[in-house]
Amino acid sequence: MAVSECPECTCHIPIPPDASAGDFLECPDCGASLRIKSVFPPIFEKVSGD
């Protein structure tokens, strides 16, 4: 399973095997809303709350 860091708090978050680029999830540590920017390599980007 691929793992990436939360861009907000650097928590290591596993990417579910059925996830695709563009999917959204929440950091279990800081609660930041994240979008999967890339599955390979695994990269998250923070979703703006604006």
* Single pTM value for the model: 0.83
How would you class 5 by CB atoms within 10 Å of its CB: exposed for 0-12, middle for 13-18, buried for 19 or more?
middle
How many other CB atoms are there within 10 angstroms of residue 43's CB atom? 17
CA dist 41 and 50 (Å) reads 27
Q: What are the pLDDT digits (tens) for 10-44? A: 999 999 999 999 999 999 999 999 999 999 999 99
How is residue 46 annotated by DSSP?
E
pLDDT of 1? 77
CATH number, position 39: 2.20.28.160
Number of compact structural domains in the chain: 1
The residue segments making up the domain with residue 14 are 3-46
Q: What single-letter DSSP state applies at residue 15?
A: P
Rounded distance, CA 26 to CA 13, Å? Answer: 9
Q: Provide the pLDDT for residue 18.
A: 94
Residue 47's pLDDT band (boundaries 50, 70, 90)? very high
Number of C-beta neighbours around residue 13 at 10 A: 21
